[in-house]
Structure formats: structure tokens, C-alpha cells
Amino acid sequence: MVITRHALDPARRSCPALPGLQAAALATTIVAAIVGLGEAARADVTAGTYLNSQAYNYKIIHMPDLDQRRSTLPAEGSMYCVPTSVVNIFGYAANHGFPDVNPGPANWQSQSNYTTASLWILSLGSFMATDAIDGTGNAGLNVGIDTFLQTEPLLKKIFRARNSQYRPGAARLTKYGCYGWAMSFCYGKYEVTGTQNGVPIMHRIGGHAVTLQRSYRVGSTRILRYRDPADDDISLTTQSTFVNVRYDPYDFLGYFGGTGVSNLMSLTALFATSEGTRVIDTLFGIRPIYGITFGNTGDAAGGGTVSLLDPIPFDGAQNAVLPSIGISSALDVLDFGFDADFDNALVLAKSNVLPLPSRLRTLDLTTGALTILDPAPPNLIKFATDRHGRIYGIEAVNTIRQLGSDGTELAASTAVPLPTDVAVNDQDDSVWVLSVPDRKVVKLSQDFSETLLTINVPILTPMAGDGILVIDPTNGKPWFKTDANDKLYGLSVGPTGEVTVTTFTSPSLTNATDLSIGDSGELFVLGDGSVKVLKKALIGLWTLDAGHPFQGLPGGTHLAMLHNSSNYDPIIHDGPDWQNLTKAELEVIGPFESDCLADLNADEVVDGADVGILLGAWGTKGGTADIDGDGMVGGGDLGLLLAAWGACQ
């Protein structure tokens, strides 16, 4: 018997239990406990626990599952998986606290919104330059996401595709989900073209975009479920029932993108056929802006607390980031920020007990573990990261170093003898260095092979002590502040080499200890124990943004803010290899499984524990236990739960 999506009963569809899963999940799952939401808001992330790459549990419900195959799309939507998967996550955002973002809030399962969904997929495909024959390239994917983000600047994007510094996979995908992201991903179809030392050499022959719904792992037990936009063969004029495709992923070792050492990767495979192995190689998603801050505790000389700033998450979301993490009082923190992929933090610290050099450390935001990044050189004083996963560290005298994501040194330069701070402009992949003693700001190429620009700061501009350097991503203009005063100075160079200094003064800069510039040029200032947000003004430079969700939040001495980030490289991530797969080339879609809505604690079984959760929420509005979606937890929900009793199946 062939079962199609349209044949599934949405009240009973569910997922099969696996041996040992029930007990393991109960040991590692955190049950979502979000109450007090309005009727339109749903506690949709029912599991969001991430311990490490071997133990995690994530589940999101009510994620849209729009069909790409539509009679109104070019070639009946055969190559529209990318725009459809992107509309899925933006539709989720619009229904969960961000109604102004395209495509706006709606019940996307309803046939009454089918034409609207078709128009949005078509429109986004136009922005992405989606081709009816070849599909959507990664350049178009990024352009499309950026276009939709223009309607809601408080949402940020992440795009990560495999390269020498980044290995995408189920664990990283899940971690983003557990951190509050709405995630989609692409899997590539890879054929074996040879072997090297017994390891297969893999060649990508196309790919497909889908949307994450469920990811689970405890040891060898693994589940991955996703919304597949190409899984409806019944109708090209109606929206099929939302459902998931499920696979048990596994690790696959191979050479991807070449045969060098950096191309040897263990990635997540979904399934294999005689025509190729499907491997996760691209992650992309959106999330409301958030940040982390570090500050000393009280009047302590060393140590302090890392705190999470997450004022506007998606309605019903979870965030596996710990709300606060203590740093030992035996350490003086010199610099602090997100790592390049926004899934952990980096802490540059020096012992105040022993005569040891400063060391760069990774801070696990889900466990609080602080670990020295052993390959990274000692004696760094500041660092910055770029969109490609690299770290740029400066020493007090003579040297700036480029490091890989694991701390391995990749390049070094002595172009700036006395560096004070370092910053990166991801718009053109340039590296900037401020030298207060030399009164210079220097722009270097990413690999330090060229000094692109040297700006000598005019003598009338005060400079002294320590300094902070930031680059405005909207125009590439460098701005700096030093201990000389509480002013911010912007530098620009005219066609004949003349230097123009723009001075910005604001009460918000008083006693500022850290600065960050957002994607729209907004200025985040940390000082006097709180965050100040300034927006670009029509007249003048910046003005206080009293309505910004971060305005007035508590802070410390260091601030790191989420911003749009993409490691897209046209040389690596576009071309015939990255075209989409046709319906025939997909070969296999299924088996189908539902969200298993009655499984309230995400342990893959409906039982007494779920009854307890439902009864505890009885009479409340919305929430995880509102199984029937009528806005109130009551008898209808209990009836659906009892009807689904037992292992999800």
C-alpha cells in the first residue's frame, strides 16, 4: 500500500519509537514551560536541549511545510525548493512575534492562503534569480534572505556552507535550533569519483533544500526529521498536509571539494542510493537579534559573569544558552566575543595568580566550560573574527596573526608595529588595525598580503591609552574611541589622500567600555553598566533609539551582538555542482512522519508524563499542551492525547 501525505490523519500522524530512545530522551530532555502567551502564540519548541555533539534533543512544531510543486510556478515549481524552504522559516517568524516580516502571519496549512503562498514563493524566487531548469544558487539564496530581512531588521541570518574552516552537520544544525533559530538546510547528492588512502573522494552533483523539524541524538540513536517541499505528488493546486520526512542520519567520512588535508571531512549523511549519498553541506536560518555581555562581579579584581541578552526571542522559543556563566576570579578578561559561527564564545584572558601569558579560550555557552584553544599563540591582547571562521589576534608589539577556527596559525603580519585593536569588515573581507601609539588606522587584505590603506590620524585628534575600533558595514567607514575622551571619531580619505575626521559626541558615550555597529549602522554602546542603542539619524550621525529592545539592558564591560553572517564564497559555493536536483534526481522522499503533537515532552511516546504536562496547563491559553490549536488547553486536547496513546507511530 502506498501512503501519501494527503492520506495521513493530522490528529493521529506520529513517529515510530526506537529501541532505547524513551529512557535516553527522558534523561536529556528539557520540557518547554512557556506560559502566559496570547492565543496566537504557541510554545512551539517542545525540546531544545544541547549538551554536546553526541547528545541533543530538538523539536519544533507548527513550522510551515509549503509545497514547492505548484501549477502557477515556472516548470510547476520543480526547482523551487530553496525559495519554498526560506518562505517556511519566514512564515514561522511572522506567526511568532514578527508580523511585519514577509510573508506576514497566516495559517499556511489553510487552502484559503494557497494563492498567497504561491505568490510569495514566486516573488522570492524572482529575488533569488531561481531558474526553472537549474534552480537557485547560493548567491541567490543569500540575496533572497537579505531581501526579506529588509522588512524586519531585528531578525538576523546565518548561512554556513562547507569549506576548509567549517563542517556543517546535524549537530551544528541542532545547536542553532536549540539557540532559538528557525533553520533550513541543504543536502548535497554526492557521487564517488575515486579514493585516496581508502577514503572516498566525493563530487557534488546537485542538492535540495528542506526545513528542520526534529533532531535527536543520544550516542548511536539518531533521528532527523524535516519539511520537504517536494514531497507532494497528488495535487499542483492545493496545499498538502504538513508532515515530515524522517531519516536516521550517520557520519560519513570523505574528501569534499578536493583532496587536500582540509578537504577530509566527516559530515552528516541522510541516506544513500546507487546514484549517490545525500550529505548535509549547507545550513541557513533566521533568528531575532541577541547578545552576550561580560562584566566583573562587584568590585572583584578578576573574573566576572557572562550574561545572555535575549529580549525578543520567537514566541514559544527556547534558548539553550545559559542565562549566566561565571568566569574564575583568577582570570583577568582582556577581550570577549562570539566565535565566528555564533555557537560559542571566545574569551581572551590572563592569570592574575601565576606569571603566565594570556591565552585564547573557547567558552561553551550551553555548559559553561572554558577551554584553552591550544594551537592559538599566547600573549594576544585583542581579537576579532570573520565570516569564514578565522580569528585575528594582535600582540602588544609588532604582530597580528590570522588563526583558523581551531586556533592554528594561518598567517602573520608586522605591518602595524604597535597594534591596539583589530576589526573585520565582512562586506569586503578586509582586516583593520588601530594603533594608538602610531596614530594610524591600517586596512589589510584578508591574508595580509596587501596593505590596502594607511590612514594617519591628524594630530589635532586626541588619542591616548587603550582604544576600540569598529567598522560601519553600511559604508566601510572606520570609527574609533580611545581613553583620551568620550568621543567617537570616524575617518574617511578623499580622492587626493586628504583625511577627514568626523567627530561624534553623545552622553551615551560617557564611560563607554565597548562598542558594536549593527547591520543597519546602529550603534550599540556599553558603559556605566547598561547598553545604549543609537540609530542613524537623517540629520547628524546617530540619535538615541529609546524604543530599541536592547536600550537600557544591563551590561558589563564587554559586549558581543549577533549580526547577519554568511560564509558564502562564489568560487566554492556556486556553479553546476550547486544546482538543485530535479524531482527524478531526488529519487527517494520518505518515509513520512508527523509532528506527533501529543508527545508533549518530546520523548517519542505519548504516556502519563504527557498527561501530567497537559493537566498542569489545564485552562491556560495556548502553549505546548494546546494540541488542537483552539487557543485553550482543555478536553479536546486531552481527547487527542488519549487517542494517540503509546509510541508515536
**Grid cell for residue 197:** 588512502
DSSP H helical segments within 302-389, as ranges? none
Q: Tell me the longest C-alpha to C-alpha distance in the chain.
A: 83
CA 194 to chain centre: 34
Are 592 and 245 a contacting pair, CB within 8 Å? yes
* pLDDT reported for residue 158: 98
- CA distance to 124, 156, 209, 545, per residue, from 141 (Å): 9, 15, 10, 31
**Grid cell for residue 609:** 508524563
Pairing of strands 565-566, 155-161: parallel
What are the backbone dihedrals phi and psi of residue 581, each rounded to the nearest 5 degrees, phi first? -90, 145
- Please tell me the pTM assigned to this model: 0.90
Query: What does the alpha-carbon distance between residue 45 and residue 62 come to, in Å, rounded to a whole number?
Result: 9
SS3 per residue for 565-602: EECCCHHHHCCHHHCECCHHHHCCCCCEECCCCCCCCC
Query: What does the alpha-carbon distance between residue 405 and residue 417 come to, in Å, rounded to a whole number?
Result: 25
* pLDDT reported for residue 234: 74
**Ranges in the chain, pLDDT < 50:** 1-42
Classify residue 147 as exposed, middle or buried by CB count within 10 Å of its CB (0-12, 13-18, 19+): middle
Query: What does the alpha-carbon distance between residue 165 and residue 25 come to, in Å, rounded to a whole number?
Result: 32
Q: Which residues contact 126 (CB under 8 A, 6 or more apart)?
A: none
* pLDDT reported for residue 588: 75
Classify residue 495 as exposed, middle or buried by CB count within 10 Å of its CB (0-12, 13-18, 19+): exposed
Ordered by start, the domain boundaries in the chain are 1-44+595-649, 63-214+225-287+569-592, 375-505
Are 480 and 512 a contacting pair, CB within 8 Å? no
Query: What does the alpha-carbon distance between residue 615 and residue 450 come to, in Å, rounded to a whole number?
Result: 66
- CATH of the structural domain 1-44+595-649, one choice from 1.10.1330.10, 1.10.10.10, 3.50.50.60, 1.10.260.40: 1.10.1330.10
- CATH of the structural domain 375-505, one choice from 3.40.50.970, 3.10.150.10, 3.40.30.10, 2.130.10.10: 2.130.10.10
Are 267 and 168 a contacting pair, CB within 8 Å? yes
Are 498 and 482 a contacting pair, CB within 8 Å? no
